[in-house]
Amino acid sequence: MLEGLSRVEAAINEITVPEEGFRVRFRTVDAVRAASEYPVWLSQGERVDLMVLNYLDISVYVSGGYLMPLDELMEQYGEGIETLQDAGADVTGGAVIGGKLYGLNVVQEFHGSGSGLWIPARYLREAGVAFDPERIYTMEELDALFARLKELYPGAYPFGQVTAGRGFSSMGYICSNPPLQAVSDSVNSGVLSEDGRTLVDFYETAQYRTFLSWMRRWYQAGYIRPDAGYANLETAGLLKSGAILSIPLASTPGMFSDEALGEEVVCLRTGPIGYGPNNSRTGIRWVIPSTAGEPEAAMRFLDMMYTDARIVNLFAWGTEGENYVFLDEAAGLIAYPEGKTMTDLDFVNSLGLYGNQALRYFMGTPEYRREQEEYSDEAVPMGMEYAEFSFDTSAVTTERELIQQVLNRYLPVLESGCVDTDAVYPAFISALKEAGIDTVIAEKQRQLDAFLAEP
């Protein structure tokens, strides 16, 4: 993987050095460990010119003095980004704090997401389960499917739930019907109750408790790996080898391609497709740290990440020939090199953490692209009435950090089902309350009440 990354870095510098006069150097960080490593880097004054916050609370970094305001830099060097925003792209939502801009959102090519179970189609045929791409399958139906697959493949695990290292709930990947509205911020600061005005603790809802019951049941039935809550497992490889038989993920087309696994893979939807406003403090954003040595060059490169298809596609796919080949260059359609799948490549950017995804080449056929467009068209708006509300978390920074520590400790074991839910769940809720989750929810409720009271 590092060899492929070095090749991408060199290719980017072949563009930036002659055209912009600066050189880019990458620094890698584990996506899970970033939350703990970033503050260490920045508090020690290490030079970092650009950094991506992958579902990390931007307000925590602002209150810690770790980020540089971008307003003046945008005015001087972000003309392309501003043009993109004028065209309707939500580049800055949720990143304006105290009247200043601190981050830029990743622009999505398509919108909308739902929960789903990705599974090779042959398993469904063998289990006698009819596949309907638009139907929403219930947990009871998945339970029956897993039972049948366990009979057919007793040495495999039908449900590839892997939670080790996760500090966020995986419930949204598996059962989001009906969805719980987080309103501006993550579920860790409360979700709306049915009245649309009152916030409650997500982890105390009946939906979440039911979800944990299913996870425990499936673990005890042998549908989930015994080490799912502890071991850092690569699920795509396990699915390809047959060690696990399905993976819960967003139902967005292309999460798993037939080419990547060498056979037809389909998604059983387990929830509706929706989209909401991008006003959460916790999202995917590019920022310029206060320790940046070259903030002007950083903003110029950011502008390229949002406007230059060459840069976007180097981030997205790697280098032509080694990581992809064109099927139709004019249409931007690509495929993996002959004889290779995603697992064979030395560069994979599956998280999509780059500026403007709308500029990336499309991996697949025109038919597959139509699937993406149809999926996006099917998405329904959710919570758009709260689009202008943004939760200011500065007053509860300490509580939120303590809450995250509790989640890091409990979610992997609870959501893999590998502990006695009846015994551990009460301790989890107690730990959340001790960390201050009620205080966080009360502060968010205060701000939401003020927002709803505005004429």
In a domain, 373, yes or no: no
Res. 375: pLDDT tops 90: no
Q: Please name which of 84, 83, 54, 48 lies closest in space to residue 68, comparing C-alpha atoms.
A: 48
Q: Are residues 301 and 156 in the same domain?
A: no
Question: How, if at all, do strands 333-335 and 362-363 pair?
Answer: parallel
177 pLDDT band, cuts 50/70/90, is low
From the CA atom positions of the chain, what is the Rg in Å? 22
The answer to whether the CB of 158 falls within 8 A of the CB of 248 is: no
Segment 193-218 mean pLDDT = 93
Res. 354: pLDDT tops 70: yes
Q: Are residues 80 and 6 in the same domain?
A: yes
Q: Are residues 172 and 254 in the same domain?
A: yes
Q: Are residues 261 and 125 in the same domain?
A: yes
pLDDT tens profile 13-22: 999 999 999 9
Listed residues 341, 361, 381: the one ending a domain:
361
Listed residues 344, 361, 378: the one ending a domain:
361
Q: Are residues 155 and 194 in the same domain?
A: yes
Q: Are residues 96 and 149 in the same domain?
A: no
350 pLDDT band, cuts 50/70/90, is confident
Q: Which residue has the tokens 């209150």?
A: 63
Q: What pLDDT was estimated at residue 176? A: 63
Q: What pLDDT was estimated at residue 207? A: 92
Q: Which residue has the tokens 């059983």?
A: 268
Q: What pLDDT was estimated at residue 180? A: 67
Res. 305: pLDDT tops 90: yes
Q: Are residues 261 and 133 in the same domain?
A: yes
Q: Are residues 128 and 251 in the same domain?
A: yes
Segment 19-35 mean pLDDT = 90
Q: For residues 121-153, b (16+ Cβ closer than 10 Å) or e, as one string? A: eebbeebebeeeeeebbebeebbebbebbbeeb
Instruction: Please name the residues in contact with 252: beta carbons below 8 A apart, sequence gap of 6 or more.
Output: 110, 112, 113, 114, 372, 375
Q: Are residues 6 and 34 in the same domain?
A: yes
Res. 114: pLDDT tops 60: yes
* Count of domains for the chain: 2
Q: Are residues 82 and 128 in the same domain?
A: no
In a domain, 369, yes or no: no
Domain assignment of residue 352, given as a range: 2-108+278-361
Average pLDDT, the chain: 90
In a domain, 312, yes or no: yes
Segment 276-284 mean pLDDT = 74
139 pLDDT band, cuts 50/70/90, is very high
pLDDT tens profile 117-126: 999 999 999 9
316 pLDDT band, cuts 50/70/90, is very high
Q: What pLDDT was estimated at residue 1? A: 55
- Residue 342 CA: distances (Å) to CA of 33, 107, 146, 284, 345: 24, 24, 27, 23, 6
Segment 137-158 mean pLDDT = 97
The answer to whether the CB of 159 falls within 8 A of the CB of 146 is: yes
Least confident of 190-204, 288-302, 345-359: 345-359
Q: How far apart are CA 354 and CA 334, in angstroms?
A: 18
Give CA angle at 100 (52, 75), nearest 5°. 85
Q: Are residues 140 and 251 in the same domain?
A: yes
Query: pTM of this prediction?
Result: 0.72
In terms of phi and psi (left: phi > 0; alpha: psi -120 to 50; beta: otherwise), the region of 88 is: left
In a domain, 54, yes or no: yes
Least confident of 8-12, 241-245, 354-358: 354-358
Q: Which residue has the tokens 């696994």?
A: 261
pLDDT tens profile 415-431: 999 999 999 999 999 99
Q: What is the CATH number of the domain that holds 237?
A: 3.40.190.10
Segment 39-66 mean pLDDT = 91
In a domain, 208, yes or no: yes
In a domain, 371, yes or no: no
Res. 29: pLDDT tops 70: yes
Segment 166-178 mean pLDDT = 80
In a domain, 372, yes or no: no
436 pLDDT band, cuts 50/70/90, is very high
Q: Are residues 174 and 258 in the same domain?
A: yes
Q: How far apart are CA 63 and CA 56, in angstroms?
A: 13
In a domain, 253, yes or no: yes
